Amino acid sequence: MTGRGRYGDAMHQPLDSTAPFAPALAAINSRVDEGLRTDAFFAAINPAWLRDAVLAYPRRGGKRLRPALTLWCCGLAGGDPERAWPAALAVELYHNWTLIHDDIIDGDATRRGLPSCHILLEQAAAAQLPEMSSARRERFGRDQAILAGDILHGWSVAVLARLSGAVGQALVGRLASRVTPLLISGEAQDVEYAYRAVVRPAEIWRMMFRKTGVLLQFAAEAGAMIGAGTTDPLHPAPRRLGRMARQAGIAFQLRDDWLGLFGDEATLGKPAGSDLREGKQTLLFTTALAGLEAPGRQRLLQLSGRPDLSPDELDEARALVRHSRAEAVLRRREERLIQAARAALLTFPDTPWRRLLADWLRFVCERTY
């Protein structure tokens, strides 16, 4: 499945539409890797350690759910998914550049189990300029990571611009003029909310739509616009599939919040209640606050942002969230989102692409890990 030779060859290998979900996703993963490994863009990046930093996240894999969405929506909208490869790759690169800047801002030291981009660049500084102090090294890593993210941003646009014709042009315009201001505004709000004592559920809701929903919507729209050969994102196929992807993304976030408090540690892979311990403003937390009387609200606020929370206190917080009815409210919202997304998918004829997308939806929305 991994082609040899140039990027262009890899881009035109057939995608086997009869494949069930997991092997189809694995095949996409291989082809994304191959596309990245042989792309001409990164040759222009200098010095070598900056190039390595730009390539680090895209080459670390991940589930590649976004490119899969683009390709399969293209198929479902009646097009040959091969033609959607530049869009699929662009969406994946776009997602990755936002992660680089996110990790700088959040001060996260790891990403997918490996050093985050600014840490990699700190390490490069240590190797290149060993006499540098650790404070200067940290600064150097951060500064270079800002630039690595900027280059990756450019790369995603460069790949999308390879789509020829009016549809390609419409997609470049939509990515830059809709996705960027909304998604980055969402990130800016997420940063701001961490500094604020009180955040309303409606604010978190809007921020989630921006941070998670907008790019997934674009990934689906892009595929559907290419598949249907339309420059209009309001054409039925991109409109319905874009909405489906956005709903799935928000349902995913709601599930994520819920699992973070009520999920099983063993399947979760991280301590339950960590969002609460970090004092994170999740929709579950802010909805619970809004639904409690003053004493309960005060108690939940006391329990939040405390790294040393005991198991009994965690149980107390869970009871308060249940009592606030936030758990029930948000699980119902999540269910409605998933049902709406499924219903949107079922308006399309039953093809292998629809089956793959139904599996995609199940994978995104029904995970318990």
Binding site for a second copy (CB under 8 A): 41-42, 44-47, 50, 101, 104-105, 125, 128-129, 132, 136, 140, 143-144, 146-147, 149-151, 153-155, 157-158, 161-162, 164, 168-169, 172-173, 175-182, 184-185, 187-189, 191-192, 195-196
The CB-of-323 to a second copy minimum distance in angstroms stands at 30
Closer residue to a second copy in complex, CB, 168/260: 168
Closer residue to a second copy in complex, CB, 105/319: 105
The CB-of-190 to a second copy minimum distance in angstroms stands at 10
- Least Cα distance to 291 among 330, 332, 260, 252 occurs for 330
Structure tokens at 213: 């929903």
The CB-of-59 to a second copy minimum distance in angstroms stands at 17
Query: Cis omega before residue 47 (within 30°)?
Result: yes
Please tell me the distance from the alpha carbon of residue 33 to that of residue 15, in angstroms, as a whole number. 15
The CB-of-92 to a second copy minimum distance in angstroms stands at 16
The CB-of-287 to a second copy minimum distance in angstroms stands at 21
Phi/psi for 25 (5° steps) reads -65, -40
**C-beta separation of 326 from 288 below 8 A:** yes
The CB-of-54 to a second copy minimum distance in angstroms stands at 8
**C-beta separation of 258 from 327 below 8 A:** yes
Using alpha carbons, list the distances in angstroms from residue 326 to 33, 193, 285, 331, 342: 41, 20, 8, 8, 24
Structure tokens at 207: 């921020």
The CB-of-121 to a second copy minimum distance in angstroms stands at 9
Residue 310's contacts (CB-CB under 8 Å, 6 or more residues apart) are none
Can you tell me which residue has the tokens 């107390």?
A: 316
51 in helix, strand or coil? helix
Closer residue to a second copy in complex, CB, 96/144: 144
Which class for 293: exposed (0-12), middle (13-18), buried (19 or more C-beta within 10 A)? exposed
Closer residue to a second copy in complex, CB, 170/220: 170
Closer residue to a second copy in complex, CB, 149/249: 149
Closer residue to a second copy in complex, CB, 216/261: 216
- Least Cα distance to 170 among 83, 247, 226, 231 occurs for 231
Closer residue to a second copy in complex, CB, 19/184: 184
Give 367's Cβ-side CA count (13 Å radius): 18
Closer residue to a second copy in complex, CB, 150/316: 150
The CB-of-325 to a second copy minimum distance in angstroms stands at 29
